Amino acid sequence: MPTSATTSQRISRNGVDGNKRVGLQLERFTSQHTNPDVLVVGAGPAGSVIARELARRGVSVLLVDKAVFPRSKVCGCCLNGAALAALAAIGLGDLARQCGAVPLRSVRLASGKTSAEVALPSGVALSRETFDSALIREAVAAGVTFLPGVRANGGDFFGGPVTGPGDDHQVELDHGGQSVTVSARVVVLATGLAGSAGNALQSPGSRLGAGVVVPAGVVPAFFSRGTIFMATGRGGYVGLVRVEDDRLDVAAAFDPEFVRASGGLGRAAETILAQTGWPLVPRLAALGWKGTPALTRRPAVLAARGVFAVGDAAGYVEPFTGEGMAWAIASAAALAPIARRAVVGWDDGLAREWAQTHIRQVRRRQRVCRVAAWILRSPRLARLAVQSLALLPCLSRPVVAALNRAPALSHEPFA
Ligand SMILES: Cc1cc2nc3c(=O)[nH]c(=O)nc-3n(C[C@H](O)[C@H](O)[C@H](O)COP(=O)(O)OP(=O)(O)OC[C@H]3O[C@@H](n4cnc5c(N)ncnc54)[C@H](O)[C@@H]3O)c2cc1C
């Protein structure tokens, strides 16, 4: 495999906490022309996993993220059985436990005052500050160079001209106003929802995401560790779960119109939670809520000319079933062998292969989530579903089993 494996040796390795050294490292990029084989943009689960998988295969990888870590992110923070199995398949089966993740036993669903408790066979709750930082550390340990606080500029990576020597991509990286251009044979866009791949098509009527993390000291004891509390209502749904340090992660999906009518993200959450009769989380609306762009989206192009989209950047469906991280981890691991071949030389067959792999790994698994999203649009159907589960909890078993099923990952031998 003709990769420039020395690149990561020439650049000093940058850990999660090494933000101060980033400016210096960017300068080195220009002065030493230390260009990576692969530039991965975005260090969420998809970006860190593919960066690590490529480094394990001998490819030199630069991973950048505009955020400084640890950082929080709007997310329900639940890794289901499929996510844990995907982590185990890439040798990180113990990571969540080492991070102090809280094992999940059940999910309590509420539609108005009607509620049902469904047992969960597997899954853990873990804050995104802790989980994403741990994955980055694993990527760095595998040889990835990581630069936090660095934004990759480029509106349309798929359509933009390839101006570098050979087939290389020139990407402008910006750190606090200082910018440099790096050249990479392959670019992986793992930019999540906010940093779209430049060609994301949002589904009409899509909901938007919202979240906040509540300090442990003010959380009512009712919201106990090991249970996901999920309230559905007209206009959206809200999920609450205790993470490793006992804080309460609150994540929601709302109709934009409902947020406007409620007077903001926090008020929208309070409105839905108030209908359940659960204890109120004090001053919930006053906390620092963050929102996301439209949740349900799909890019027109998944790969072209040495650029691949993965994770949420490759398409996402509403978060009700809590599977996004499983899709991100499994599909990133599945993309690694394809991206490695793209380093050697681009061929349009690689784009087709990635599109087919993505359909198998992600789009088929998104069907359950699409059906759940459709049911939740109708408060009457949602109430009927919760009433049925309250009477016959066993009805949930096939769905819960399908959601937690281990993803099939190819076992291409490493270099
Ligand atoms: C309300 C809500 C609840 C959810 N609950 C769950 C759940 O319980 N379980 C679950 O599995 N999934 C859940 N998800 C989904 C999950 O959060 C995502 O699917 C997952 O984070 C996708 O990972 P990713 O790596 O693709 O993107 P992200 O985790 O979003 O990471 C993308 C990274 O790219 C960086 N970035 C973007 N643009 C640039 C740029 N130009 N330059 C540099 N860096 C850039 C960002 O800073 C970010 O760190 C939920 C989502 C929402 C909205």
DSSP state letters, 319-339: STT--HHHHHHHHHHHHHHHH
Question: Rounded to the nearest whole angstrom, what is the distance from the C-alpha of residue 20 to the centroid of ligand 1?
Answer: 24
Domain of 191 in residue numbering reads as 7-72+130-201+296-366
pLDDT value of residue 356? 93
Is 117 domain-assigned? yes
Task: Specify whether 26 is located in the same domain as 82.
Answer: no
What gap in Å lies between CA 407 and CA 410, rounded to an integer?
10
Reading the block at residue 211, the tokens are 């979240």
Query: In this predicted structure, what is the pLDDT of residue 102?
Result: 98
Average of per-residue pLDDT values in the chain:
86
- Per-residue pLDDT at 177: 87
**Does residue 287 sit in the same domain as residue 250?**
yes
Q: Would the pLDDT of 103 be above 80?
A: yes
Q: pLDDT by residue (tens digit) across 325-336?
A: 999 999 999 999
User: What pLDDT is attached to residue 11?
Assistant: 30
Report the domain count for the chain.
Answer: 2
The string of pLDDT tens digits covering residues 294-330 is 888 778 789 998 999 999 999 888 767 778 999 999 9
Residue 311, ligand 1, Cβ within 6 A: yes
Cα(407) to centroid(ligand 1), Å: 19
Q: Do both 282 and 137 map to the same domain?
A: no
Query: Is the shortest distance between the CB of 43 and ligand 1 below 6 Å?
Result: yes
Residue 392 pLDDT more than 50? yes
pLDDT of 402 strictly over 90:
no
Collapse the DSSP code of 35 into the 3-class scheme (helix H, G, I; strand E, B; otherwise coil) and give the result: coil
Q: Are 216 and 256 within one domain?
A: yes
| Whole-number pLDDT of residue 33 | 52
Of 255, 278, 293, which marks where a domain is finished?
293
Are 282 and 148 found together in one domain? no
Mutate to test the pocket of ligand 1, among 79, 129, 191 (most ligand atoms within 8 A of CB): 191
Question: Environment class of residue 346 by beta-carbon count within 10 Å: exposed (0-12), middle (13-18) or buried (19+)?
Answer: buried
Question: Cα–Cα distance between 171 and 180 in angstroms, integer?
Answer: 8
Spatial contact of 116 and 106, defined as CB atoms under 8 Å apart? no
* Residue 124, pLDDT above cutoff 80: yes
Instruction: Give domain status of residue 156, yes or no.
Output: yes
Is beta strand 227-233 parallel, antiparallel or unpaired with respect to 236-242?
antiparallel
C-alpha triplet 174, 176, 179: angle, nearest 5°: 30
Ligand 1 pocket test, pick from 48, 63, 66 with the greatest ligand atom count within 8 Å of Cβ, gives 66
Task: Over range 48-59, report the average pLDDT.
Answer: 97
CA-closest residue to ligand 1 atom 18? 324
State whether 226 and 289 are in the same domain. yes
Which is nearest to 218 in space by CA: 279, 130, 263? 279
Residue 190 inside a domain? The answer is: yes
Is the residue at 313 inside a domain?
yes
Q: Chain-centre distance of CA 258, in angstroms? A: 25
**Is this model's pTM higher than 0.75 or not?**
yes
183-206: string of b/e by CB count within 10 Å (b at 16+)? bbbbbbbbbbbebbbbbbeebeeb
Q: How far apart are the CA of 330 and the centre of ligand 1, in A?
A: 14
Q: What is the pLDDT of residues 184-219, one digit of tens each?
A: 999 999 999 876 555 566 677 789 999 999 999 999
Q: Which residue among 366, 382, 398 closes a domain?
A: 366
| Percent share of the chain, pLDDT over 90 | 62
The ligand 1 atom nearest the CA atom of 132: 29
Is residue 154 included in any domain, yes or no?
A: yes
Q: What is the pLDDT of residue 17?
A: 46
User: What is residue 198's predicted lDDT score, i.e. its pLDDT?
Assistant: 54
* Residue 379 maps to a domain: no
Query: Is 358 part of a structural domain of the chain?
Result: yes
Identify whether 407 is part of a domain: no
Question: DSSP letter at 311?
Answer: G
Are 284 and 272 part of one and the same domain? Answer: yes
Q: Is 211 in the same domain as 86?
A: yes
Whole-number Å distance, alpha carbon 69 to ligand 1 midpoint, is 14
Q: What CATH number is associated with residue 155?
A: 3.50.50.60
Query: Which of 246, 267, 293 represents a domain boundary (last residue)?
Result: 293
